[in-house]
Amino acid sequence: MIQIRDITKSYFMGNQTLPILKGVSLTIEDGDFVAIMGPSGSGKSTLMNILGLLDVPTTGSYLFNGKEISKQTEDELAAIRRVEIGFVFQQFNLLPRMSAEENVALPLIYSQKTTESLRPKQLLQQVGLGERIGHHTNELSGGQQQRVAIARSLVNNPKMILADEPTGNLDSVSTTEIMKTLKDLNAQGITIILVTHEEDIGAEAHRLIRMKDGIIFSDERKTPLVPQKKQPTINVDQNESKFSLAEIGSHFQQGFRTLAANKVRTALSMLGILIGVAAVVAMLALGKGAQQQIESQLSSLGSNLLVLRAGAIRIGGVAQESGATTRLSEDDAKALADNISTLKHVAPQVTGRGQITYASKNWSTQVLGTESPYAQMHASEPTKGRFFTNQESQTRARVAVIGTVLVKELFEDRNPIGEMIKINKVSFQVIGVLPEKGGGGFRNQDDTIIIPLSTAMHRLLGKLYVDSIELEVDKPENIDASQTSILAVMNQRHKVPESIQDEAFQILNLADIQAALSKTSQTMSLLLAVIAGISLVVGGIGIMNIMLVSVTERTREIGLRKAIGAKRKDILLQFLVESVVVSAIGGLSGILLGWLITVGLSAASGWSTSVSIESVMLSFFTSALIGVVFGVYPARKASLLNPIDALRFE
């Protein structure tokens, strides 16, 4: 089974070479029971680790079932360890937080023999631990723990068991039990190689090898070798490249357990991701809400809208009150409507504050005087009642159309149509209710009252000129031409001198304002998202940090997993799953927190917010991705550890 020739092993300490094995040659037959004895430091463990494929010799040849070991890849070695060899350590090397049964079943994950779910139980019964199956390793005595370790070494039906001082940490009763177990296994045809200190244990072996200072100095056979039937060599399956669901499931379970065992640490490392995700969710919700609000307010303003105002003229560098030459009048509005064919509607406007009273109720609001086209220009056809007519405009009728805020404040949601109210002590009849535009803030569009322009100017506000003229252009492509025509008409009507024609009148283009506003709000959202994204990265670095700590802490566990046949990929996967679990749980709590913040903010401040399913999905998958990205480095670090170095790690 095993044939080694002139094996040497040296350790290099700085520039010094420490030869430990100085040319060992050995052949071990199938079915033998070999004891290796010798003083401490003579190289027994070093030899065992080489025999068990946990370590590689410096020079020499090692044939395992006729295969030269130095020509095998790391994963091929892992496969041989998994299938052919069971290793029993002096320190047991059981995993804490797992039951005896789970410890025994551990190698099955890597050999993907999930169908053999009964085998761990049977093996525990075989080593006399049938009653302790569900116990955790810290609830077992040393002898019991070692028997669990033996059961673990047997779970994949190995042909050989290597035991390095298996009874070194045990009392004499346990020692006898372990020896009996090993002898039983040998009787079933399993090759046993045992390192021991104790002469009486060595005496029970069929062959006794003594070592000293890195060489074999005696080798005696005490019991004749029972010739074994030539067992068919197990074909070590190299094609197990895919991960089974059971393995991934088991990693998830193990990941949750490790995290649960370090609750405070886990919570702290999740905090970064949690804050980051919460920030992303809340920021995106705020940004989206702001954008929606701007959009809805803008869309209620109507499209293709121009606003003409008197310009601020500077004479000698001093800003002048809009001069008489540039004051806007009702006639200007008429002239524009008559002369420019691309204008669909024209609505001159005046505004002022008004104190509205109805019965004992009192409300101060904005009064807007305009003409009937306003309703179409602003999509403000009353939902109840009607808008005033041209006729009413010309006759200075005292009729009013009111916003929903006034309905609520003055009429407490009763039907206001036909009721008489007073604006600044002048009586008006309510003839319509404006449609609700929504949106809060300092300029609530629903908190307004609209009356005919001439009524407002001459009966209420005492104004001789209009404040502005709103003009709706028929098609978007005519906007530029219309602006030029409007200025030409105005300059001509007001005989504006050439030198100040540029400044005499001012035209606001609402389409431009709309575009600028939504651009601004998009830029703001993007900026907020970037800031939130940075906090996600910081959270990811936190995860990486904690995973690195975890790798260091669990170096021995990694060594053990490799010793029982885990490949690099398996270790990589295990740590990746763990960091994804941390990130995903952090991410989920972050989504919840972000949502709560959003709801809280909009309740407290009245800001409109909107948590979108996209932003939730985005932040969840981002956090899982962060787990993968930032988990790769520690996971890779863990997977590259040499099994024996990892096992020796203190």
Binding site partner of 631, from Mg ion, ligand ADP, none, Cβ cut-off 5-8 A by kind: none
User: Of residues 400-429, which lie at the interface with Mg ion (CB under 5 A)?
Assistant: none
Q: Residue 116 or 198: which CB sits closer to ligand ADP? A: 198
DSSP conformation letters of 518-556: HHHHHHHHHHHHHHHHHHHHHHHHHHHHHHHHHHHHTHH
316: left (phi over 0), alpha (psi -120 to 50) or beta: left
Contact 72, 117 (CB under 8 A): no
40 binds ligand ADP (CB under 6 A): yes
Q: Are strands 448-452 and 361-370 parallel, antiparallel or unpaired?
A: parallel
At 59, give phi and psi (nearest 5°): -140, 170
Contact 181, 150 (CB under 8 A): yes
Q: Residue 48 or 405: which CB sits closer to ligand ADP? A: 48
Contact 437, 395 (CB under 8 A): no
Contact 272, 586 (CB under 8 A): yes
Distances (CA, A) of 64 to 6, 56, 166, 208, 599: 15, 13, 23, 21, 67
Contact 106, 95 (CB under 8 A): yes
Site string for Mg ion, 25-64 (x = CB under 5 A): --------------------x-------------------
What CA–CA distance (Å, rounded) separates 572 from 551?
Answer: 11
DSSP conformation letters of 403-421: -HHHHHHHHTTS--TT-EE
Q: Residue 40 or 241: which CB sits closer to ligand ADP? A: 40
User: Of residues 439-498, which lie at the interface with ligand ADP (CB under 6 A)?
Assistant: none
Report the 3 state secondary structure along 149-217: HHHHHHCCCCCEEEEECCCCCCCHHHHHHHHHHHHHHHHCCCEEEEECCCHHHHHCCCEEEEEECCEEE
From the CB of 33, what's the least distance to ligand ADP, in Å?
Answer: 19
From the CB of 202, what's the least distance to Mg ion, in Å?
Answer: 14
Binding site partner of 46, from Mg ion, ligand ADP, none, Cβ cut-off 5-8 A by kind: ligand ADP
Contact 470, 333 (CB under 8 A): no
Q: Residue 196 or 583: which CB sits closer to Mg ion? A: 196
Binding site partner of 41, from ligand ADP, Mg ion, none, Cβ cut-off 5-8 A by kind: ligand ADP
Q: Residue 34 or 588: which CB sits closer to Mg ion? A: 34
Contact 405, 443 (CB under 8 A): no
167 binds ligand ADP (CB under 6 A): no
> What is the DSSP-derived secondary structure letter of residue 428?
E
Site string for ligand ADP, 74-113 (x = CB under 6 A): ----------------------------------------
Contact 384, 432 (CB under 8 A): yes
Distance of CA 189 to the CA centre of its chain: 53
At 143, give phi and psi (nearest 5°): -60, -40
What CA–CA distance (Å, rounded) separates 290 from 482?
Answer: 32
Instruction: Map tokens 């705020």 to a residue.
Output: 286
From the CB of 643, what's the least distance to ligand ADP, in Å?
Answer: 13
Q: Residue 23 or 168: which CB sits closer to Mg ion? A: 168
Binding segment for ligand ADP (CB under 6 A), chosen from 42-50, 94-102, 268-276, 343-351, is 42-50
Rg (CA), the chain: 44
Q: Residue 8 or 72: which CB sits closer to Mg ion? A: 8
623 binds Mg ion (CB under 5 A): no
Q: Residue 47 or 580: which CB sits closer to ligand ADP? A: 47
46 binds ligand ADP (CB under 6 A): yes
Q: Are strands 160-164 and 85-88 parallel, antiparallel or unpaired?
A: parallel
What CA–CA distance (Å, rounded) separates 439 from 529?
Answer: 24
What CA–CA distance (Å, rounded) separates 302 from 286?
Answer: 25
Among 164, 162, 128, 122, smallest CA distance to 145 is for 128
Site string for Mg ion, 211-240 (x = CB under 5 A): ------------------------------
Residue nearest to ligand ADP (CB): 45
For residue 623, what are the β-bridge partners?
Answer: none
From the CB of 42, what's the least distance to ligand ADP, in Å?
Answer: 4
Question: Which position among 11, 200, 355, 415 is part of the footprint of ligand ADP (CB under 6 A)?
Answer: 11
Question: Which position among 7, 42, 423, 455 is part of the footprint of ligand ADP (CB under 6 A)?
Answer: 42
Q: Residue 89 or 411: which CB sits closer to Mg ion? A: 89
167 binds Mg ion (CB under 5 A): no
> What is the DSSP-derived secondary structure letter of residue 460?
I
196 binds ligand ADP (CB under 6 A): no
Residue nearest to Mg ion (CB): 45
From the CB of 59, what's the least distance to ligand ADP, in Å?
Answer: 16
From the CB of 39, what's the least distance to ligand ADP, in Å?
Answer: 7
Strand, helix or coil for residue 190: coil
Residues that contact Mg ion, how many (by CB under 5 A):
1
Binding site partner of 40, from ligand ADP, Mg ion, none, Cβ cut-off 5-8 A by kind: ligand ADP
Q: Residue 146 or 304: which CB sits closer to ligand ADP? A: 146
217 binds ligand ADP (CB under 6 A): no
Q: Residue 20 or 489: which CB sits closer to ligand ADP? A: 20
45 binds ligand ADP (CB under 6 A): yes
Helix %, strand %, coil % of the chain (to 5): 50, 20, 30
From the CB of 51, what's the least distance to ligand ADP, in Å?
Answer: 12
Binding site partner of 42, from Mg ion, ligand ADP, none, Cβ cut-off 5-8 A by kind: ligand ADP
Contact 346, 333 (CB under 8 A): yes
250 binds ligand ADP (CB under 6 A): no
Binding segment for ligand ADP (CB under 6 A), chosen from 33-41, 413-421, 471-479, 597-605, is 33-41
Among 446, 438, 448, smallest CA distance to 353 is for 448
Site string for ligand ADP, 326-355 (x = CB under 6 A): ------------------------------
Contact 441, 413 (CB under 8 A): no
Binding segment for ligand ADP (CB under 6 A), chosen from 35-43, 119-127, 264-272, 619-627, is 35-43
Binding site partner of 11, from ligand ADP, Mg ion, none, Cβ cut-off 5-8 A by kind: ligand ADP
CB atoms within 10 A of CB 202: 19
Query: Buried (b) or exposed (e) across 557-583, using 16+ Cβ within 10 A?
Result: bbbbbbbbbbbbbbbbbbbbbbbbbbb
291 binds ligand ADP (CB under 6 A): no
Q: Residue 52 or 369: which CB sits closer to ligand ADP? A: 52
41 binds ligand ADP (CB under 6 A): yes
18 binds ligand ADP (CB under 6 A): yes
Q: Residue 45 or 181: which CB sits closer to Mg ion? A: 45
Q: Contact residues for ligand ADP (CB under 6 A)?
A: 11, 18, 20, 38, 40-46
Per CB under 5 A, residues contacting Mg ion are 45
